[in-house]
């Protein structure tokens, strides 16, 4: 079946879902500058922003190009030639040609999560979905591009030499989920070409796993109205957010019982953070133990207790020196860099 240019929601032909992380404000602004007012797409943008941070991303994007950009509101109808920007601490999703804002479980520690957005538009719009992954670190959005492709949609990555942080589109390229790569300012021209295509609706079986993950993303905060254990076997790992057991979903994708989702890179980074926290706790504990032992030694005069506390202090100070020297010699740990839109 060929889908005509007019859809059930007026002139809306499809959606363009855009995700970014570090360096994303510049990338999204450059993309917005190249968009046209006459294309039959609604645009949805998700940027990793800390939950409590006020975001002025919609205003930045609105000033950057010809299309109106607004912070997304739950339940509003998707309109062509409009940009809907995710709110902090809300997943940006779609259903029945409407915006859905959700406080469902975080994915890779993020809400909004790019994977959640891409998965949602893949299910709602199939071959009429376009996914664009831009500047950022780690790999949130790579699985989501795979979901869009699996439902017949089109996937685009920001060209690596154009991205401030090319790791995110590079991961998508390495995963083989990109149809094209283009500079942010040239994406609008590519969308013009895509809008001229005749789109054939492929005959596809429902994807129960993708649909369950989408339902999990849409649940209210702290909801338990699903069984994530249906998604796969136990992985042997635990969730950094809640310490619950993680199930393995396909290759390199995990969820816990209450719905938190992780990719291997994000899970590894979370483990790095846990290890670093544990090491700081160890250093602090050794310092306090040595100080307390010295104070006790000074308070008991000379005798067996003095010798015991002094030996304990010296032993602890030695351990503190060894641990500190080893950690200093290991150098800084590489980590991700994020940015927020104000």
Q: Of 29, 48, 62, 135, which residue is the catalytic one?
A: 48
Interval 263-311: pLDDT, tens: 988 999 888 888 888 888 988 999 999 999 999 999 988 888 999 999 9
Is residue 48 among the annotated active site residues? yes
205 belongs to a structural domain: no
Mean pLDDT over residues 35-42, rounded?
95
Residue 194 contacts residue 154 (beta carbons within 8 Å): yes
Check whether residue 250 and residue 302 sit in a common domain: no
Check whether residue 99 and residue 240 sit in a common domain: no
- What pLDDT does residue 338 have? 40
Q: Considering only 45-49, 166-170, 244-248, 329-333, which range has the smallest mean pLDDT?
A: 329-333
Contacts of 171 (CB under 8 A, 6+ apart): 138, 139, 142, 265
* Residue with the larger pLDDT of the pair 159 and 96: 159
Check whether residue 29 and residue 105 sit in a common domain: yes
> Of 217, 246, 262, which one is at a domain's C-terminal end?
262
Instruction: Kindly report the average pLDDT of the chain as a whole number.
Output: 89
Check whether residue 278 and residue 294 sit in a common domain: yes
Mean pLDDT over residues 305-324, rounded?
90
Give the residue ranges of DSSP H helices in 241-303. 264-299
Percentage of the chain modeled with pLDDT above 70: 93
Check whether residue 20 and residue 137 sit in a common domain: yes
242 belongs to a structural domain: yes
DSSP 8-state symbol, 231? G
Residue corresponding to tokens 């970014």: 20
Check whether residue 65 and residue 167 sit in a common domain: yes
Distance CA 232, CA 254 (A): 9
Check whether residue 270 and residue 240 sit in a common domain: no
Q: Is the pLDDT of residue 324 over 90?
A: no
Check whether residue 52 and residue 177 sit in a common domain: yes
48 belongs to a structural domain: yes
74 belongs to a structural domain: yes
Residue 119 host element (H or E): helix 114-125
Find the domain containing 309 and state its range. Answer: 265-329
Check whether residue 246 and residue 323 sit in a common domain: no
> Of 182, 200, 218, which one is at a domain's C-terminal end?
200
Q: Of 62, 140, 162, 265, which residue is the catalytic one?
A: 140
Check whether residue 130 and residue 89 sit in a common domain: yes
Domain count, the chain: 3
Q: Of 21, 102, 120, 266, which residue is the catalytic one?
A: 21
- Indicate the SS3 state at residue 261: strand
Mean pLDDT over residues 242-251, rounded?
86
71 belongs to a structural domain: yes
Check whether residue 251 and residue 274 sit in a common domain: no
Q: How confident is the model at residue 205 (pLDDT cuts 50, 70, 90)?
A: confident
Check whether residue 317 and residue 274 sit in a common domain: yes
Residue 244 contacts residue 258 (beta carbons within 8 Å): yes
128 belongs to a structural domain: yes
Mean pLDDT over residues 197-223, rounded?
86
- What pLDDT does residue 167 have? 96
23 belongs to a structural domain: yes
72 belongs to a structural domain: yes
Is residue 140 among the annotated active site residues? yes
Q: How confident is the model at residue 332 (pLDDT cuts 50, 70, 90)?
A: low
Is residue 96 among the annotated active site residues? no
- What pLDDT does residue 328 have? 80
Number of alpha carbons in the 13 Å side-chain half-sphere of residue 115 = 27
Q: How confident is the model at residue 123 (pLDDT cuts 50, 70, 90)?
A: very high
CATH code where residue 87 lies: 3.40.50.180
Q: How confident is the model at residue 4 (pLDDT cuts 50, 70, 90)?
A: very low
């Amino acid at each position: 079946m060929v889908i005509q240019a007019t859809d059930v929601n007026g002139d809306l032909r499809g959606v363009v879902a855009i995700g970014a992380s570090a360096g994303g404000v510049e990338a999204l602004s450059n993309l917005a500058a190249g968009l046209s007012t006459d294309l039959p797409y609604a645009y949805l943008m998700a940027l990793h922003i800390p939950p409590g941070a006020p975001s002025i991303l919609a205003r930045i994007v609105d000033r950057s190009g010809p299309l109106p950009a607004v912070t997304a509101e739950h339940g509003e109808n998707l309109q062509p030639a409009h940009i809907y920007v995710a709110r902090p601490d809300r997943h940006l999703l779609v259903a029945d040609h409407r915006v859905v804002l959700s406080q469902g479980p975080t994915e890779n520690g993020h809400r909004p999560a790019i994977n959640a957005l891409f998965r949602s538009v893949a299910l709602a719009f199939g071959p009429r979905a376009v996914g664009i992954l831009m500047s950022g670190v780690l790999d949130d959005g790579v699985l989501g591009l795979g979901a869009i492709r699996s439902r017949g949609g089109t996937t685009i990555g920001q060209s690596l030499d154009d991205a401030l942080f090319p790791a995110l589109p590079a991961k998508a390229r390495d995963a083989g989920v990109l149809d094209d790569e283009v500079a942010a300012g040239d994406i609008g021209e590519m969308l013009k070409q895509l809008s001229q295509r005749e789109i054939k609706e492929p005959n596809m079986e429902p994807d129960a796993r993708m649909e369950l993950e989408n339902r999990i993303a849409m649940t209210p905060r702290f909801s338990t109205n699903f069984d994530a254990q249906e998604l796969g076997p136990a992985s042997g790992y635990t969730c950094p957010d809640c310490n619950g057991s993680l199930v393995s979903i396909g290759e390199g994708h995990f969820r816990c019982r209450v719905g938190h989702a992780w990719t291997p890179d994000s899970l590894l980074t979370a483990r790095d953070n846990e290890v670093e926290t544990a090491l700081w706790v160890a250093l602090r504990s050794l310092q306090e133990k040595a100080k307390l032992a010295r104070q006790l030694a000074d308070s008991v005069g000379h005798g067996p207790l003095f010798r015991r506390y002094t030996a304990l202090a010296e032993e602890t100070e030695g351990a503190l020196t060894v641990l500190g020297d080893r950690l200093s010699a290991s150098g800084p740990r590489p980590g991700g860099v994020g940015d927020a839109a104000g």
